[in-house]
Amino acid sequence: MDIVQVIGLAIVATVIIAVIKAQRPEIAIQISIAAGIIVFTMILGKISAVIELLNSYAERININTVYISTLLKIVGIAYIAEFGAEVCKDAGESAIASKVELAGKVVIIVLAVPILTSLMDLIIRIIG
């Protein structure tokens, strides 16, 4: 029952933040970061099994491992960028948060270029 743990942790952290925020807003932000990291790590442990499954299926049907690993990298970058952006937004810095999101999108596009070029090559070969 990990979801119960997550919800309990989130509620406890929220109550503590509500208590501390009036006196020490900077520590309240740090508590929210800590809670976010703890929940994130609990969830990432779960997701590793799914990734193993994906990898094993990719090996069985002979997909090029470059594509799968690029896909996984993109998912990881999306998770981290979302996390950082939410932390910035919580602290009231939505401008920095949007920059973090932009950086995540740009990095994802750069990572996706090899897949895009192979797709384009395929299309050009079919047309020409």
Partner 1 sequence: MNIELIFKIAAIGILVSVLNALLNKSGRDEQAMMTTLAGLIVVLMMIVKEIVNLFDTVKTLFHF
Point out which residues bind partner 1 (CB under 8 A).
9, 12-13, 16, 19-20, 23-24, 26-28, 30-31, 33-35, 37-38, 40-42, 44, 47-48, 51, 69, 72-73, 75-76, 79-80
Contact status, residue 111 vs residue 73, Cβ threshold 8 Å? yes
Contact status, residue 90 vs residue 29, Cβ threshold 8 Å? yes
Pick the closer one to partner 1 by CB: 12 or 116: 12
- Least Å from the CB of residue 118 to partner 1: 19
Provide the CB-side half-sphere exposure for 63 (13 A, CA).
13
Pick the closer one to partner 1 by CB: 25 or 123: 25
Q: Write down the residue that tokens 């006196």 correspond to.
A: 23
Pick the closer one to partner 1 by CB: 34 or 120: 34
How far apart (Å, rounded) are the C-alpha atoms in residues 103 and 95?
13
